[in-house]
Amino acid sequence: DTAVSQTPKYLVTQMGNDKSIKCEQNLGHDTMYWYKQDSKKFLKIMFSYNNKELIINETVPNRFSPKSPDKAHLNLHINSLELGDSAVYFCASSQVGLNTGELFFGEGSRLTVL
Amino acid sequence: GENVEQHPSTLSVQEGDSAVIKCTYSDSASNYFPWYKQELGKRPQLIIDIRSNVGEKKDQRIAVTLNKTAKHFSLHITETQPEDSAVYFCAAKEDSWGKFQFGAGTQVVVTP
């Protein structure tokens, strides 16, 4: 069973389009994240949700809109895609609290904007 | 906010030699320090972590050391093997609502 699964794995689209990436975790974790990994491999946090509430919102263009319908799902919608949005987007989850645990990553969604 | 610096950015070692990657962090409230390994085209995966109440932790060929006073922590890989070739990321996090702040990564290449 995949712990953190995200779809699609690959996404090729034109500039200006709108696209979504979905993420689901079956670990029972209360916190989910979106990270962006660019061509230089840097892992940059974008958003974090705890029990469906937004707790981290980094400096990300408002073309990016996360949605968490429940604590097991965190989706990412991107409007008006730009060339610079090309990257691998990783969903992750963890259980926060007194003993912060491991961050589990999904397999990544490679977005290519042409 | 937290800032994590990681060095070196690339590291080439001969098989069997040791590899050391160093990280520094800025937020003294950080108390959880994981290390992730990312193989080409794969997801980052936790290989070892350490909490601030511990100075060193070992797991077979890998070890992590933490100096809270100096805000340094390091990953040590002994007897490196070709399958150790990957990008390694350090991270720092404050418990509770703090975010995982990652270093920029170290590309490790182990040559036979």
| Beta-carbon separation of B42 and A40 below 8 A | no
Residues in A 4-33 with any Cβ partner in B closer than 8 A: 33
pLDDT category at B95 given cuts 50, 70, 90 is low
Longest C-alpha distance within chain B, in Å? Answer: 43
Question: What tokens were used for B79?
Answer: 């007897």
| Beta-carbon separation of B87 and A41 below 8 A | yes
Q: Give me the total of CB pairs closer than 8 Å, taking one residue from chain A and one from chain B.
A: 56
Segment B77-90, tens digit of pLDDT:
999 999 999 999 99
Q: State how far the alpha carbon of A46 is from the alpha carbons of A22, A43, A54, A58, A101, in Å.
A: 15, 10, 11, 5, 19
Give the pLDDT of residue B73: 97
Mean pLDDT of all residues in chain A? Answer: 92
Segment A54-98, tens digit of pLDDT:
888 887 899 999 999 999 999 999 999 999 999 999 999 998 765
A6: closest chain B residue by CA: B43
| Whole-number Å distance between alpha carbons of A84 and A44 | 14
| Beta-carbon separation of A40 and B89 below 8 A | no
Mean pLDDT of all residues in chain B? Answer: 93
Segment B57-80, tens digit of pLDDT:
999 999 999 999 999 999 999 999
| Beta-carbon separation of B96 and A106 below 8 A | no
Q: By the CB < 8 Å criterion, does A43 face chain B?
A: yes
* Residue B60, SS3 per DSSP: coil
